[in-house]
């Protein structure tokens, strides 16, 4: 699939999101154009790609590309979270699973454009995960490939441009241990850490206690386990699902649910809410 087809997939997904949010599609398409045309953002990403390749010899995944000339080279999830940040204007965002910082960069770019808000990101370096330094982190999901592994000289978020970091609080640790210690109420929560059934179920439960009544939840790789679907059923939430942008076979990959969405109250969708 070429980049033009990728953009078509992204636009189709954004129209589905606009329908779910009950807003005009042009609103989200405008935010999509905004990040697509942000030369400063792409320049910052490309500077980090070059620096990491030259100083650490890391050439996996997107770091194999000499230059990124379009935001569409990233997965749709990055476009999704950017437009959500721009539209929802969250004051506090929670992210679990940073890896090289692709998601983090798009979240921070949205906050930077908004001019306010903080992102709290939680992750462990890959070397620590493989070493099993924390009770819930000794194993990686079996679908995680070699491209997810990086050397100990790199820390989570190594693609993030420096100018975006003023909106960022990074916490090195296990999300199951860190989330209960946070005092914020989060308006947006992105899960992209361990997608296994047990871990994701526990993380969603921990995050649920820290979410605002109108919060939005985004979960990546929802086809890796049934945890997201179980979460929606248990809390009687009506989600919307999205495919990726087709570069790695077209599949349903990301799930979004709004805690205060009107469909949550419709028994045809969820059976009604607990009282």
pLDDT digits (tens, 9 = 90+) for 70-117: 999 998 999 999 999 999 999 999 999 999 999 999 999 999 999 999
The residue whose two tokens read 């490309």 is 46
Q: Please provide the average confidence, as pLDDT, over all residues in the chain.
A: 91
Query: What is the predicted pLDDT for the residue at 28?
Result: 98
Report yes or no: 150 and 207 within 8 Å, Cβ to Cβ.
Answer: no
Report yes or no: 217 and 80 within 8 Å, Cβ to Cβ.
Answer: no
Band of the pLDDT at 241, cuts 50, 70, 90? very high
> For 7-24, what is the mean pLDDT?
96
Express as a percent the part of the chain with pLDDT over 90.
78
The residue whose two tokens read 């798009």 is 106
Query: What is the predicted pLDDT for the residue at 275?
Result: 42
Band of the pLDDT at 248, cuts 50, 70, 90? low
Report yes or no: 102 and 156 within 8 Å, Cβ to Cβ.
Answer: no
SS (H, E, C) the chain: CCHHHHHHHHHHHHHHHHHHHCCCHHHHHHHHHHHHCCHHHHHHHHHHHHHHHHHHCCCCHHHHCCCCCCHHHCCHHHHHHHHHHHHHCCCEEEEECCCCCHHHHHHHHHHHHHCCCEEEEEECCHHHHHHCCCCCCCCCCCCCCHHHCCCCCCCCCCCCCHHHHHHEEEEECCHHHHHHHCCCCEEEEEECCCCCHHHHHHHHHHHHCCEEEEEEEEECCHHHCCHHHHHHHHHCCCCEEEECCCCCCCCEEEEEEECCCHHHHCHHHHCCCCC
Query: What is the predicted pLDDT for the residue at 144?
Result: 67
> For 139-157, what is the mean pLDDT?
75
| 162 backbone dihedrals φ, ψ, rounded to 5° | -60, -35
Query: What is the predicted pLDDT for the residue at 224?
Result: 92
Give CA–CA dist 132/139, Å, rounded: 7
Checking if the pLDDT of 204 tops 50, the result is yes
> For 14-41, what is the mean pLDDT?
97
pLDDT digits (tens, 9 = 90+) for 38-76: 999 999 999 999 999 999 999 988 999 999 999 999 989
Length of the chain, in residues: 275
pLDDT digits (tens, 9 = 90+) for 125-146: 887 777 765 545 445 566 666 6
Supply the pTM of this predicted model: 0.94
Give CA–CA dist 102/262, Å, rounded: 32
Band of the pLDDT at 150, cuts 50, 70, 90? confident
pLDDT digits (tens, 9 = 90+) for 115-127: 999 999 999 988 7
Report yes or no: 223 and 243 within 8 Å, Cβ to Cβ.
Answer: no
């Amino acid at each position: 699939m070429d980049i033009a087809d990728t953009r078509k997939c992204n636009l189709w997904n954004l129209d589905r999101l606009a329908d779910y949010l009950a807003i005009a599609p042009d609103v989200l398409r405008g935010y999509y154009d905004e990040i697509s045309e942000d030369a400063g953002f792409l320049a910052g990403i490309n500077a980090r790609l070059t620096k990491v390749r030259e100083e650490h010899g890391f050439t996996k995944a997107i770091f194999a590309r000499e230059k990124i000339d379009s935001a569409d080279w990233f997965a749709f999830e990055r476009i999704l979270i950017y437009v959500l940040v721009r539209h929802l204007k969250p004051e506090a965002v929670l992210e679990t699973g940073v890896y090289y910082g692709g998601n983090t960069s798009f979240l921070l770019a949205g906050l930077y454009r908004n001019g306010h808000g903080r992102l709290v990101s939680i992750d462990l370096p890959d070397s620590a995960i493989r070493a099993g330094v924390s009770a819930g982190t000794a194993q990686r999901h079996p679908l995680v490939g070699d491209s997810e592994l990086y050397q100990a000289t790199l820390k989570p978020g190594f693609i993030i441009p420096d100018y975006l970091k003023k909106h960022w609080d990074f916490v090195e640790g296990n999300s199951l241990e860190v989330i209960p210690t946070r005092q914020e109420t989060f308006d947006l929560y992105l899960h992209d850490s361990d997608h296994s059934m047990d871990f994701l179920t526990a993380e969603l439960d921990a995050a649920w206690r820290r979410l605002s009544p109108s919060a939005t939840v985004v979960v990546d790789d929802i086809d890796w386990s049934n945890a997201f679907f179980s979460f929606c059923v248990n809390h009687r939430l009506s989600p919307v699902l999205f495919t990726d942008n087709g570069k790695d076979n077209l599949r349903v990959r990301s799930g979004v649910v709004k805690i205060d969405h009107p469909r949550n109250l419709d028994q045809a969708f969820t059976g009604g809410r607990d009282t």
